[in-house]
Amino acid sequence: MPSHGIRDKVAIVGMGCTTFGEHWDASADDLVLEAVRAACASGGVSDVEVDAYWLSTLASGNSGLALSRPLRLPYKPVTRVENYCAGGSDALRNACYAVASGAYDTAMAVGVEKLKDSGMSGLSAPAVPGDGTEPDLTAPAAFSLLARAYGQKYGLADGTLRDVLDRIAWKNHANGALNPRAHFRRAVSRETLRKAPRVAGELGVFDCSGVSDGAAAALVVRAEDAYRYTDRPLFVKALALAVGPATGTADPEYDFTSFPEVGHSAADAYRQAGITDPGAELALAEVHDCFTVTELVLMEDLGFAPPGEAWRAVLDGAFDRDGALPVNPDGGLKAFGHPIGASGLRMLFECWLQLRGEAPQERALSASALGRGLALTHNLGGGPGECLSFVSVVGVEPPAPAKRHHTSAVARTA
């Protein structure tokens, strides 16, 4: 049975996000402090006023102490969440449910990862002993199976498939070039993309997302309290998490052209939010483009294009910043970067900026797009055939008159 949801019961009233990149001069504690302080400042609270915290990190800390120590929190409940690359989104889900239940008035989701000086490249999760039946593949190798399978199923010549993947990389790097918080802030030419060395199968260097340091945070409260904290809250419309049975790599029926988990989480989210035509109803979508081919497949799994048609929409510019449905206008994992525990909240931060009209003019979406008032985030954890998927939908409401901002304890006692 799908979840009943908590539509319009919880609001996001403060957010913070660091730059993503190579932070050789900053620790995980430093990044956490920056993101949390920014979220608190935008919500008009101090960190000690937040009732409970959920922290997402894959490899940059253990237990709730990884957050309470740098913040010097006075005996607050802090829960560490780990759910692969969707950990930040799951931290948000837990914080929202805690507030919706009435257990807490305020809660914060925080995500952080410090990967560049860990000695690891890519995912740094420890290997879990298995029964020997799982394929031993790197992440690029596993996701490269999607490209070959998609091209064969839908009759794309190798040159056409290459054009599609390059178009996605070109779009996301162009978007990242306009974003001062992005890890990679330089547009990349089509010629450079085509000549890039291959990493695995059809995937080259520019088909792979960056390994980054960074942190992000979101402050959530009950919807009826939202305007005490900000004039422009975002209301949570849907939160949907689907974890698959991890049988795809052993299932002869699985054809590596789709993520069933994404379809299930998207259907649940759309049901919660009352969305029937996501391509027409969403102002923007932030999706988990860990590889360019992942974004291609997601366009169909999320219902933005019919099966076998997303490649045409990509080449037509449908998902460009000025297209019918802007996808990853902040650069996505590809250019913004991918500090694993923080990525889901980074996606939400872009929705926060765009829907509130705070994105810089040079990369702000059109008024017609923003007029739709809804944004989607999508996180993927794991790989083809054995993964988990998270989809959220957030939106704005008409401004409420005569609402008073919350005044923090720090300000009241100053």
- H/E stretch holding 29: helix 28-43
Any idea what the Cα angle at residue 80 is, between residues 354 and 285, rounded to 5°?
Answer: 20
Q: Which residue in 23, 264, 288, 338 is the catalytic one?
A: 338
Active site residue 85: yes
Residues whose CB is less than 8 angstroms from the CB of residue 311 and which lie 6 or more positions away in sequence, other chains included? 150, 154, 156, 160, 161, 164, 296
> What does 38-103 look like in DSSP terms, one character per residue?
HHHHHHT--GGG--EEEEE-SSS--STHHHHHHHT-SS--EEEE-BTBTHHHHHHHHHHHHHHTTS
Residue 374 has φ and ψ, to the nearest 5°, of -130, 145
CA distance 304 to 282: 10
On the CB side of 379, CA atoms within 13 Å amount to: 32
Count other C-beta atoms under 10 Å from residue 308's C-beta.
14
CA distance 57 to 70: 15
Active site residue 338: yes
| SS3 state of residue 109 | strand
Listed residue (117, 127, 111) closest to 339, CA to CA:
111
Sign of CA dihedral 299, 58, 108, 412: negative
Q: Which residue in 17, 40, 85, 351 is the catalytic one?
A: 85
Q: Could you tell me whether strands 284-286 and 10-17 are parallel, antiparallel, or unpaired per DSSP bridges?
A: unpaired
Q: Which residues does the annotation mark as catalytic?
A: 85, 338
